[in-house]
Amino acid sequence: MSDLRALFGVDVPVVLGPFGGLSSVALTAAVSDAGGLGSYGLYGYDGERIRATAAALREATSKPFAFNIWLPMGDEVEPGAQHSVFAQALQPFYEAVGVDVPAKPDRYLPPLEEQLDAIWDARPAVLSVVYGVPAPEVIEEAHRRGIRVVGTATTVAEAVALNEGGVDAIVATGFEAAGHRVSFLGKAEESLVGSFALIPQVVDAVSVPVIAAGGISDRRGVAAAFALGAQGVQVGTAFLATAESAANDAHRAAIRTTPAEATVLTRAMSGRLARGVRNRTVRAIEASGFIAPFPAQNWLTGRFRPAAGEQGLREMQSLWLGQAAPLARWDAAADVFAELAAGVPTE
């Protein structure tokens, strides 16, 4: 197996979890500058925005960083006749924050090809993907440009598929992790494997380095991940709670006050299964039984969630956080990184 330090060009095998919608240049640069691999989630970004983000990151840091994209699974819906029906179902939430019910857009998400063209121009050190195995031509083009490719697995079978597909490393993400469950070979609800069970089985099943994710917030989690055979860790929630992240104060407060058993896996906010706080909006949408398919639901709730964040309305946001959230005690990214780095075995 290749050492992650050499593979990614970093000093410490600690990776920032990529946040779809909550990534920031400041946090990505802070983790990279500290010696780890800062990551930036590009969910929903078109080519122009990706190029602008890459320019901002290169201005902020000279160190390696990763871009993350969501691969299409083939079940994504396009704006159609049902758009207005699902939009009207969410009307009370739009009214609560003072925004209009949104009209049907031309598209919910930019094409993958547009994103990849911009990524090839940007040449990040690493391209990480969720929801599938990159096509052979994608991996070939990445490697041609000197870009490492990292896939994400929620089961051993997914890890094997990624390994056979030619990725350079695999993130094994346990069901404790925050945000979306990125399963792609089976239903997300049937792919809920905890980190302690998943990591060593993935390590045994693949020939590339494994990065552990899910339930890791301090040096103890890092040490445990390495004891299970991982060669690196990916951490999201602990960094999301810091001042450098794009999370708002209500989200940071939720991270620090939500016990593990109070998190929930829900499709309410995006149409896909994700772990976060079961607040009033999540409960109301779940109770209605009226959830649009992905990415329509994510786009529709995305019209009121930013306004709710600006107004400090915790009960109307998608507050993604993992089961180890109460362990997120640090306010600065550098302090989180130092704590995590202390758990990496010395050679």
Which CATH number covers residue 58? 3.20.20.70
Residue ranges making up the domain that contains 199:
4-341
Q: Of 41, 65, 20, 37, which Cα lies nearest the Cα of 231?
A: 37
- The token pair at 130 is 């969720």
Return d(Cα 108, Cα 93) in angstroms, integer. 20
pLDDT of residue 2: 57
Domain count within the chain: 1
Q: Pairing between strand 274-277 and 232-235?
A: unpaired
Using alpha carbons, list the distances in angstroms from residue 20 to 40, 164, 320, 338.
8, 27, 10, 24
Closest residue by Cα to residue 143 from 111, 165, 114: 165
pLDDT in tens, 123-144: 999 999 999 999 999 999 999 9
pLDDT of residue 1: 43
Q: How far apart are CA 99 and CA 6, in angstroms?
A: 49
Which residues, including other chains, have CB under 8 Å from residue 342's CB and lie 6 or more apart? 219, 222
Domain assignment present for 347: no
Please report the pLDDT score of residue 325 as a whole number.
Answer: 96
Q: Residue 211: inside a domain, yes or no?
A: yes
Nearest to residue 308, comparing CAs of 336, 277, 338? Answer: 277
313-344: b (≥16 Cβ within 10 Å) or e? bbebbbbbbbbbbbbbebeebeebbebbbebb
Question: Which pLDDT score, from 0 to 100, does residue 81 have?
Answer: 86
Question: Cα–Cα distances in Å, from 80 out to 84, 268, 302?
Answer: 8, 20, 18
- Give mean pLDDT, residues 145-152: 98
- Read off the tokens for 342: 């202390």
- Mean pLDDT in residue range 336-340: 98
Apex 232 CA angle, 270 and 113, nearest 5: 45
Is residue 295 reached through a cis peptide bond, with omega within 30 degrees of 0 on the bond before it? yes
Return the DSSP state at 311.
Answer: T
Percent of the chain with pLDDT over 70: 99
Instruction: Quote the tokens at residue 218.
Output: 């301090």
pLDDT in tens, 85-103: 999 999 999 999 999 999 9
Q: How confident is the model at residue 289 (pLDDT cuts 50, 70, 90)?
A: confident
Task: Report pLDDT digits (tens) over 74-84.
Answer: 999 999 989 99
- The answer on pLDDT for 109 being more than 60 is yes
Proportion of the chain in helix, strand, coil states, percent, rounded to 5 = 45, 15, 45
**How do residues 231-284 score in pLDDT, each as one tens digit?**
999 999 999 999 999 999 999 999 999 999 999 999 999 999 999 999 999 999
Residue 346 in any domain: the answer is: no
Q: Provide mean pLDDT across the span 314-332.
A: 95
Q: What percent of the chain has pLDDT over 90?
A: 97
Query: Of 239, 71, 66, whose CA–CA distance to 169 is shortest?
Result: 66
Answer whether residue 312 is part of any domain: yes
Mean pLDDT of the chain: 96
Is 188 within a domain? yes
- Please answer whether residues 265 and 273 qualify as being in contact, where contact means their C-beta atoms are separated by less than 8 angstroms: yes
- Chain segment 25-67, per-residue pLDDT in tens: 999 999 999 999 999 999 999 999 999 999 999 999 999 999 9
Average pLDDT over residues 156-182: 98
CB 210 within 8 A of CB 203: yes
